[in-house]
A and B are shown apart, each in its own frame.
Chain A
Amino acid sequence: MIARPALLLTGVSLATGIAAWWVASHALGSPLFPSPAEIVASAKELVRTGVLLSDIAVSVKRIAIGFVLGCAVGIPLGLAMGLFRPVRAFCEPIVQFLRFVPPIAWLIPAIMWFGIGETSKILLIFYMTVFLVLINTMAGVSSIRRNTLRSAETCGVDRWQLFWWVVFPATMSYSVAGARIALGNSFAAVVGAELIAADSGIGFRIVESGKWLAMGDMFAAILILGLLGIAADRLVNELASRWLRHYLPPAEQHVG
C-alpha cells in the first residue's frame, strides 16, 4: 500500500501536470492545443460512440496475442539455449544479430509480406517479446547456483525431475523480468506500427484525428494510451506478485 504522504504527493503531482497543461492551452488559445476539459469531453464522446473502446480492444488484442506467442516461443528456446551448448552455439549468432534490429525496422517488410491487417502487428510484438524473454531466460539458466543443482542430484533426481522441479522454476524470475520489459515496450511498438500503417487501433486513431484536425480526439487517444500502459504494468505486477511471488528474487518479494 502507498503511504499517505506519498499518496498526497501523487495527487499533487497529477494536479500540477493538468494545471500546467490548462495554463499553456489557455495562454496559447490555439485550436491545436485543446484544454484538459475539451480533451475529457472528446474522450467521453469517443467512449459514448464506442470508437475508443473498439480501438483499445484492437490494440490490446494485438499486444496480447503477440506477447503470449512471444513468451511461448522465447521461454522454451531460452531454456534450450541455456541448457544445451550446441543449441546455443547454433542460435546465438542469429539471436545476437536480430536483437539489435529494432522491431519497427521490420514493419515495412512485414506489411509487404502480410498486409496492413493484424498479422504484421502481431508479428512485431511477437518479435520484440521473443528476444527479450529468450535472452533473459537463457541468463536465468546460467545464473542457477551450482549447489542448487548438486543438492537435487544428491536426492537422486532424474533428468526430467531436475528440469521441471529445479531448472525451470529457478529460471522463472528471469523469464518474468524479460516478459515485463517486453510488455512495457509492446505498447510503444504496437502504436508505432499503427501510426505507420493500420486501419484500426489507438495509434491509428491518433493519425486519423490528426488528419481531420480533431485535436481533442487526438489527445484523448494519447491520454488513453498512457493510462493503458500504466494499467498493463500494474496488472502484470499484480499477477506476478500473486502467483509467482516465490519464484521472484528475494528483493522483489513482499516478505512478512
Chain B
Amino acid sequence: MSADVTFRGVDFAFGTAQPVLKDLDFQVGNGEFFVLLGPSGCGKSTALNLIAGFEFPTSGEVLAGGKRIEGAGRDRAVIFQDSDSLYGWLTVLDNIAFPLRVTGAPRPERRERALASVKLVGLHGHEGKYPAELSGGMKQRAQLARALVLDSPILLMDEPFAALDAQTRSILQDELVQLNIHMKKTVLFITHDIGEAILLGDRVGIMRAGPASAIKEFIDVRLPRPRRRGSAEFGELYERIGQSISDEVRRALQREDSLLS
C-alpha cells in the first residue's frame, strides 16, 4: 500500500476565527522523511492533527495513501510532544503492547512483540517500570516503541524532542535516523528547530508565520546520513533556511507583541 500524504488546498479555522491554515498544499512521498518547520503558532501542529484525523479541514482535502482521512487510524501512528499519551496506570511494556491489546492479539504474542520493540528503542531493563518513573527521554522512547508496535506505514511526530535537554535530544535524533534507515516509514516531523530539520529531513517545508499560514518554501536536504552538525554543507543549509525563516519568526513575534499590547 502506498503511504503518501497529500494536502490539497487545505484551509483550517477554529469556528469563525481567523483561519490557522490557508491553502496549504504539499505532498509527502512514500518513505519520505518530511519536516514541517515553522515559528511557534504557525499552525504546523494543526497540520499534523489534520493528517492524524484529530481535526478536519474547513475546506480542501487531506489524503493518506490516496484515501480521504475520516478520523484517527492505525495506519498513522502519532508521537506527541508530551508524555500524557502514555498511560500512568500501565507498565512501560503494557503501554507499548497497548495497540496489540486493542486488536485482541494473544498475550504471549503481545509480550513478544512489545519486548522486541523495547529492544529496538533501547528501553530494555525499563519495561517493568511505570511512566512516572521514566526520564523525559525514556518516555519519548516508550512512545516511539508503541508506535513501532502499531507498525503503521506513516509516522507523525509532533515536536517529539522539543521538551528534552540538548544532550538527550541529540541522542534521540541520531537513534531515530538509525531506526528509519531500516524502517523506511513515511514520516511527517514537526519542529521549530532548524538544526533538527536538517539533521532528520529528506525535505523541509518552511511555513509562513500565522495566521492563514501555508508553506513558503521547500528545501531538499541532499546530505548523506548520518549527518554531522559541524559539516560545511550543514552550515550552509542552516544559514539558508535560517534566513528564510527569520522573516517569519520576526512576523510571528510582532504579532505576539501586538496581541499582548
Contact = CB atoms under 8 A, between A and B. Distances in A.
A152 B80 CA distance: 12
B150 A166 contact: no
A148 B80 CA distance: 10
Q: Place the interface of chain B in its size category.
A: 20 to 34
A250 interface: yes
A18 to B, nearest CB: 41
Given A147-B80, A150-B85, A151-B78, A156 B52 contact: no
Interface string B5-27: 00000000000000000000000
A256 B133 CA distance: 8
Contact of B77 (A148, A154, A255): A154
Interface stretch (B94-102, B179-187, B189-197, B235-243): B94-102
A256 B78 CA distance: 30
Given A153-B72, A154-B77, A253-B132, A147 B102 contact: no
A148 B84 CA distance: 6
Interface string A144-170: 010110111111110001000110011
A172 interface: yes
Nearest to B83: A147
B255 interface: no
B234 interface: no
Interface string B125-160: 000001011000000000000100010000000000
Interface residues of A, number: 23
A246 interface: yes
A145 B130 CA distance: 18
Given A157-B102, A165-B101, A246 B89 contact: yes
A151 B89 CA distance: 15
A154 B130 CA distance: 21
A250 B150 contact: no
B143 to A, nearest CB: 8
Contacts of A155: 74, 98-99, 102, 150
A21 interface: no
B256 to A, nearest CB: 24
Nearest to B103: A156
Contact of A154 (B86, B90, B133, B150): B150
Contacts of B89: 169-170, 172, 246-247
B71 interface: yes
Which residue among A151, A246, A247, A256 has the maximum number of chain B CB atoms within 10 Å of its CB? A151
Interface in B53-112: 53-54, 71-74, 76-78, 80, 82, 84-90, 98-99, 101-103
Given A153-B53, A250-B88, 19 more contacts: A147-B82, A147-B85, A150-B72, A151-B78, A151-B146, A154-B52, A154-B72, A154-B74, A154-B150, A155-B99, A155-B150, A156-B73, A156-B103, A157-B102, A172-B89, A246-B130, A246-B132, A250-B132, A255-B132
Interface of A: 145, 147-148, 150-157, 161, 165-166, 169-170, 172, 246-247, 250, 253, 255-256
Top 7 A-B pairs, shortest CB-CB distance: A151-B85, A153-B72, A145-B84, A155-B99, A147-B85, A250-B132, A156-B74
12 contacts: A147-B82, A148-B85, A150-B52, A150-B80, A154-B74, A154-B76, A155-B150, A156-B99, A161-B102, A165-B98, A165-B101, A253-B132
